[in-house]
Structure 1
């Protein structure tokens, strides 16, 4: 199991966009993906 954590120093800096892109790429590669916010 691998864990990727996306964090940032403030709000409105794109954490959700980056997380969605990473999750989409992982899912497209056949990996099991779970996203929590």
Structure 2
């Protein structure tokens, strides 16, 4: 990630990315193990 890209956990590819976090869409970029740990 380049410095000054304005990327963060909510918009990992930057604020103008089509894949930005959308509340009615499934979670992406989460491993199976992380999902299991969260669900416990």
TM-score class, shorter: under 0.3
**What's the TM-score, normalizing by structure 2?**
0.27
The structure with the largest helix share of the pair is 1
- Larger radius of gyration between Structure 1 and Structure 2: 2
**What's the TM-score, normalizing by structure 1?**
0.27
